[in-house]
Amino acid sequence: MIVSALATAVGINLGLTLLLASAFSLLRRRAPYVSVYSPRRPYAPLESWIAAAWRRSEEDIHAASGLDGVVFVRIFVFSIRVFAVAAVLGVGVLLPVNFMGDQLSLIDFADLPNKSVDLFSISNVKDGSMKLWLHFSAVYILTGVACYLLYHDYKYIAGKRLEYFMTSKPLPQHFTVLVRSIPRTDGGSVSEVVDKFFKEYHSSTYLSNTAVHQTGKLRRLLNDTEIIWKKLKNVKYVPRQLPTENPPRKFLGLFGRSNILGKYQKKLENLEENVRMEQSDATRRQEISAAFVSFKSRYAAANAIYIRQSDNPTEWQTEHAPDPHDVYWPNFSTTFMERWISKFVVFVASVLLIIVFLIVVTFIQGLTYMDQLEEWLPFLRKILEIAIVSQLVTGYLPSVILHFLSSYVPSIMKQFSTMQGFGSVSGIERSACNKMLRFTIWTVFFANILTGSALGQLEIFLDPKEIPLKLAVVVPAQAPFFIAYVVTSWTSITSEITQTSALLYHLWGSCAKCCKRDDADPETQSMHYHSEIPRILLFGLLGLTYFIIAPLILPFILVYFCLGYFIFRNQLCNVYAPKYDTGGRFWPIVHNATIFSLVLMHLISIGVFGVKKFPVGSSLLVPLPLLTLLFNAYCGNRFFPIFEAYSTESLINKDRQEQSKPEMAEFFRNLQTAYTDPAMKPIQRSSGYDGRTAPLLSSV
């Protein structure tokens, strides 16, 4: 890719970004769009949204979207800090050095636009030149800074996690244990068996249990009632809603409204009758060998989780109970064996997905090489020879396609994680986040690098000591593509704030209202951490791996993170409502991913110095990855357990804190019903029944 092509890409995206941003600034306060842009705060502040996003304190964000929101914003803060330093080093020192080098012997400012961007990459530095010491020390400095920040933030978030635990109001999930694979003995109901077991072995601390039922059919029925109920509502309120309209009246005129009302009424009654039957039926028969068991103290619950209950490890398996709103009910019917095999199946499936995607990416990559493209599609030659088109195609199109395709993967990965039988949405999304991360790194990063040069390169991973050298050859070759990729991402992240899809849906919805009476009010969505976090981490990976190779990428990445910082602070407060709070358990993923990126950077640098005839540098770099891994192992020992479980110290102190409080009696009363399947609750029309959340719990 030549400089002008890059310029084109930057131009286009800058344009789009500004366009979208200003569109948002204009629309956000207009009445019809408020439900899209700040469903959570109907009245947007008059000041500019950027200022508002800037002013918000961490407390606001925690209040608005829990510790996970705080962690999510923290990722941007961390990245901005790291890449501020990186950009200073890269653009301030390395870039000029590279540019002044004359390895590629194309240094004249005459027609810079038509020069390759490699001019700014390390490939332009003379082999074995002393200037490489600058690159060498840059690697050490950046690693040092990154590790310091990693330690600092890990500690900070671990602290926050404990702090919020100690200051939280009593939460059902802290007192409750999810028990699975309960052995069905002598035909007693699950609930009885559980009662017997825990009364025997936890007599002093056991409070109550809630057996889980097979409610698939019930859930379907309830959805139907929902639909009918909505229709009914619409029919009822037609007159007051559209007093002047004609077509609907006529439309209704065809067969009087009363008929329709009656029809729906009847349908509804039948359905609700069925629901009640099904509910009582479920309680009687369709029990699943899983139950939520509540205890009188947090410490007691912890005991039940961390000490194996039964002599047979495959029975009475206990785990942390999720937040009642967070429970994923359909999954409880799976047995130990099923869960355990599905893990294996899912692993295979996700590997296959990666391979399939690799093939697609290979084609996309082809686009960056005009000649290949012209071979495949000769009839296009004429068009492709137009400068601007070719620049578009080489510099811009591939990354657009890649963005587009990638956008479908998260939902697939989430599906996979769902198959693994987690009991909570948060569990599913955390595992999906890990899958996405592996996927992104493999397809977007390695795939592009390997396919970009030659798929044959794949075998380099089979010869360990060769890896750095090979990487050093293939990674730089892809610098232009990734610079374009980063630039394109500006648009995609800005389109996040304009909620393009939601906006369209909203517009369509509002027009739809007129013709077919269906109030399609977009319920507030939740943040998709499992798709956002890996994307952000990918840019961290790109920035670090290309830090010394092509420092030109750094400012673009920095811009990306700054955009993200403002946009998501706004989104977290105004748009997304948290569906769960894992208490910051996404951070370890971020930490490990960053360590991986650092080590990869080291390997590549070692290779690059080798290629650049700078053996001293490569050999002096060898200790760095080892030190980084040791540092990571230490952090793992020092902080990770805090994200896995709370300590006796915290648990007992917290319990003591509340012993005396009067409201606890009330809490324990509610706790006993906290984990009843919403589908099993009597239908409450008043609160407009909603399949996902259990109204009862607002009191807990």
Footprint of a copy of itself (CB under 8 A): 162, 201, 299, 302-304, 306-314, 336, 340, 344, 459, 462-464, 630, 633-634, 637-642, 645-652
Query: Please, what is the minimum distance in Å from the beta carbon of residue 307 to a copy of itself?
Result: 5
3-state secondary structure string across 213-243: ECCHHHHHHHHHHHHHHHHHHHHHHHHHHCC
Phi, psi at residue 517, to the nearest 5°?
Answer: -60, 85
245 vs 463, beta carbon nearer a copy of itself: 463
Q: Identify whether the C-beta of residue 184 lies closer than 8 Å to the C-beta of residue 290.
A: no
Compute the least distance from the CB of residue 350 to a copy of itself, in Å.
Answer: 17
CB of 3 to a copy of itself, least distance (A): 41
| Shortest spacing between CB 182 and a copy of itself, in angstroms | 14
Q: Do residues 139 and 547 lie in contact, with contact meaning Cβ atoms separated by under 8 Å?
A: yes
Residue 254, Cβ density class (10 Å: 0-12 exposed, 13-18 middle, ≥19 buried): exposed
Q: Do 436 and 532 touch, CB atoms closer than 8 A?
A: no
Give the containing element (helix H, strand E) for 482. helix 479-498
* CB 314, min distance to a copy of itself, A: 6
| Residues in contact with 636: Cβ distance below 8 Å, sequence separation at least 6, in sequence order | none
Cβ nearer to a copy of itself, comparing 22 with 312: 312
Pairing of strands 287-295, 206-213: antiparallel
Question: 690: alpha, beta or left, given left = phi > 0 and alpha = psi -120 to 50?
Answer: beta
φ and ψ of 307, to 5 deg = -110, 125
> Closest CB to a copy of itself among 201 and 668?
201
The nearer residue to a copy of itself, 115 or 202, going by C-beta atoms, is 202
Judged by CB, which is closer to a copy of itself: 404, or 634? 634
Q: How many CB atoms lie within 10 A of CB 488?
A: 22
By beta-carbon proximity to a copy of itself, the closer residue of 198 and 675 is: 198
The nearer residue to a copy of itself, 254 or 462, going by C-beta atoms, is: 462
Of 193 and 302, nearer to a copy of itself (C-beta) is 302
What is the closest distance, in whole angstroms, from the C-beta atom of residue 9 to a copy of itself in the complex? 40
Nearest residue to 392 (alpha-carbon basis) of 5, 14, 10: 5
Minimum CB distance to a copy of itself, residue 320 (Å):
13
Q: Return d(Cα 62, Cα 54) in angstroms, integer.
A: 15
- 26 vs 630, which CB is nearer to a copy of itself? 630
**8 A C-beta contact, residue 675 and residue 210:** yes
Least distance to a copy of itself, CB of residue 66, Å: 21
Q: Which residues does 455 contact at the CB level (< 8 Å), separation at least 6?
A: 362
Give the nearer residue to a copy of itself in terms of CB position, either 18 or 337. Answer: 337
Cβ count near 392 (within 10 Å) = 17
Least distance in Å: CB of 468 to a copy of itself?
Answer: 15
By beta-carbon proximity to a copy of itself, the closer residue of 169 and 465 is: 465
Task: Give the integer Cα–Cα distance in Å for 401 and 11.
Answer: 19
**How many Cα atoms within 13 Å fall on the side-chain side of residue 59?**
0
Number of separate helices (H) and strands (E) present in the chain: 30, 4
The DSSP secondary structure of 628-646, one letter per residue, reads HHHHHHHHHHHHHHHHH--
Looking at the DSSP bridge assignments, the partners of residue 177 are 293, 320
* Overall residue count recorded for the chain in this entry: 700
User: To the nearest whole angstrom, how small is the minimum distance from the Cβ of residue 650 to a copy of itself?
Assistant: 6
| HSE (side-chain half, CA atoms, 13 Å) at 327 | 28
CB of 622 to a copy of itself, least distance (A): 14
Closest contact distance (angstroms) between CB of 338 and a copy of itself is 13
Return the number of the residue (201 or 442) whose C-beta is nearest a copy of itself.
Answer: 201
Give the residue with the Cβ less far from a copy of itself, 237 or 340. 340
Token pair for residue 355? 């391979």
Report the 10 Å Cβ neighbour count for 297. Answer: 20
Element (H, E) at 402: helix 397-406
- Strand 176-180 to strand 287-295: parallel, antiparallel, or no bridges (unpaired)? antiparallel
CA dihedral 59, 62, 68, 71 (to 10 degrees): -10
Based on CB atoms, which residue is closest to a copy of itself, 159 or 247? Answer: 159
Give min distance, CB of 308 to a copy of itself, in A: 4
> Considering the complex, what minimum distance in angstroms separates the CB of residue 649 from a copy of itself?
5
Q: What are phi and psi of 210, to 5 degrees?
A: -130, 110
